[in-house]
Amino acid sequence: MKNGESNINGEKINYSIEHPENGCCETMEITNEEPAGKMNLRTYIPAIFSFIMLMAGILFDYFGTFPHFTGWIRILWYTVAYLPVGVPVLIEGFQHIRKGDFFTEFLLMSIATLGAFAIGEYPEGVAVMLFYAVGELFQGAAVKKARGNIRALLDARPDSASVYRGGTYISVGPERVSVGEKIQVRAGEKIPLDGKLLSERASVNTAAITGESKPDTIARGEKVFAGSINLDRVIEIETIKEFKDSSIARILDMVQNATARKSRTELFIRKFARVYTPIVVFLAIGLTFLPYFFVDDYVFRDWLYRALIFLVISCPCALVISIPLGYFGGLGAASRNGILFKGASFLDAIVKVNTVVMDKTGTVTKGVFKIREVVNSSAFTEAELMKYLMAMERQSTHPIAKAIIEYRAEGTDLEATNVSEVAGKGLKGTVNGKNVLVGNKALMTSNGILVPSATDNIVESIVMVALDGKFAGYVTIADELKEDADQAIKQIRGSGISTIIMLSGDKDSITRQVAKELQIDWAKGGLLPEDKLDEVETLKKQSGTNVAFIGDGINDAPVLAASDIGIAMGGLGSDVAIETADVIIQTDQPSRFARAIEIGRSTRHIVWQNIGLAFGVKAIVMILGVLGMASMWEAVFADVGVALLAILNAVRLQKMDWS
């Protein structure tokens, strides 16, 4: 990794990401025993304790259940309630002041709550700080949940390599294998390092690296990539790169760097506090001392009281509650619709999207092969063609063979004998006394079979059949579109998205055909992860472009991290894509993206309504407080009452019909 180190199998993973915009670094430690997104219950204990103490104090105040709850007992009680949630904020504010950053929301919260204590409104002081602490906890939980992306990638990489040393194969960590060593990979295992194949052939699933929708057949001497899965037999490989330079390690590095390039979204209240806090503080100071020069009967204690009321009124309690509540209302509404946002900031980000880039396999297609068309020559019937084809394909474990066998459930009683594989071309054998060839055009032409020229224009995977030296026909096999794929594109356009693009690791011809069928603006196939990343980075450089990427595979992880907002298919998508993305579509339906935009817009409207409500009411009561026409009760209403109204408004998100 670029900044730090990583180990798996229970060891700690350390990394640091520098944020150029503020010059700070975020350091994270993740262990395999405890997920990064887990929120420890102890984190909530201070807020729970303060809440219980506050409720008990209010009960004693207003119901007289404790007659001696006065004087120093009352002050001490509320002080104890205040300290668990107040001390961390006071310390944070002090540390910011030491760094020269005076006007933060920590300072405003500190002054407002201590001011409430100074004028005897102890419950208000505790409540305001408690609400602020709870809002911070909600945001912290969302951030911690999103931190699993690096750990998920590390879990996805191969754990060990079987390397030939001292006349036998031994298991070692892939990072301990040198270039030029021979390794063995069993069927079903991940290939741990990039290398060249020593065995005669291999069938490998490269979807994790390239996004290719069908497994590849690799011949002796050809390259194989780390992260690919060996499908059908034990193979031997000579390593050509160290693990740190392998394909899966490069993807890991790209995700880390892409995450570093994605600037952190600051909470609105913190941006707002940088302007609001100094204004409020200086106004309160002015309200205390300036009347001395203009009022004949100036009394310091009276104007200090007005200033403290002013501070209580100006306390952003309604904002602190209603803003996160509004966003979490949106998060809840999205969750009920099968959409998981990893943080409130992404509800804002999705509203700004004007360009959608999507993967093909597993995103708009099912990633499952089906026979699309059966074409027989005039010399043979379709039934004959399929009967001999299915008999041959029963001898193969290739996914395409599985698609052919499942085409006709009733099957056939014919059996193939003397079946052998022609590397990179197909199968040959005998069925019912006939010599049968099943494979690609290269197999046909090498055996003198004349193939119709019309097959040259077919972009799907094609399996040709010849019987006793005569061309019998062919079947085309393709990945099926998801049921809502066409609807998804229409809804995305209907939501105001101006540009839709498809980028895929699958064949360029297949990618372009799917894009044409769905009326996508333009498409490009045959892309490796770094190629996809380059394309998205180029788009992001265009002025005014906000890019959302929708994908589902390990190979999509770098692009998901680099885009302005990454959306992963959560039902069948890879764990790496899910952990790296900002938004998860749990139902695997691409049409849910448009609904996510709608929920984001509604959430934003309600949040800004709450902001307007809070500012409007507070401005009125502030003026009354300055004129001496508002008491602490009005101040409490301007804070707590407005907060309640904002909460009721935010709850509307839970009641909306998104169908």
User: Which stretches of 353-458 are DSSP H helices?
Assistant: 382-393, 399-405, 441-446
Instruction: Give pairs for 59-66: CB < 8 Å, separation 24+.
Output: 61/123
- As a three-state string, the secondary structure of 190-240 is ECCCCEEECCCEEEEECHHHHCCCCCEEEECCCEECCCCEECCCCEEEEEC
Residues 6 or more apart from 368 whose CB is under 8 A from it? 403, 479, 480
Of the candidates 216, 348, 359, 552, the residue annotated as catalytic is 359
Considering only CA atoms, which of 380, 394, 540 is closest in space to residue 470? 380
Instruction: Give yes or no: 359 in active site.
Output: yes
Q: How far is it, in rounded angstroms, from Cα 88 to Cα 175?
A: 43
Q: How many Cβ atoms from other residues are within 10 Å of residue 323's Cβ?
A: 25
The tokens for 416 are 């193939």
**Which residues make Cβ contacts (< 8 Å) with residue 303, sequence separation at least 6?**
287, 288, 289, 291, 292
What is the SS3 assignment for 427? strand
Inter-residue contact 576 to 567 (CB < 8 Å): no
Contact 127, 636 (CB under 8 A): no
Distance CA 170, CA 290 (A): 83
Is the CB of residue 25 less than 8 Å from the CB of residue 277?
no
Say how many C-beta atoms besides its own lie within 10 A of residue 510's C-beta.
24
> What does R_g of the chain's alpha carbons equal in angstroms?
33
Q: How many CB atoms lie within 10 A of CB 113?
A: 29
Q: Measuring CA to CA, how many Å separate 368 from each of 227, 372, 373, 571?
A: 21, 12, 15, 14
Interatomic CA distance for residues 382 and 390, integer angstroms: 12
Measure the CA–CA gap between 370 and 406, rounded to whole angstroms.
Answer: 8
**Beta bridge partner(s), residue 434:** 431
Residue given tokens 């209010």 in the structure block: 58
Active site positions, annotated: 359
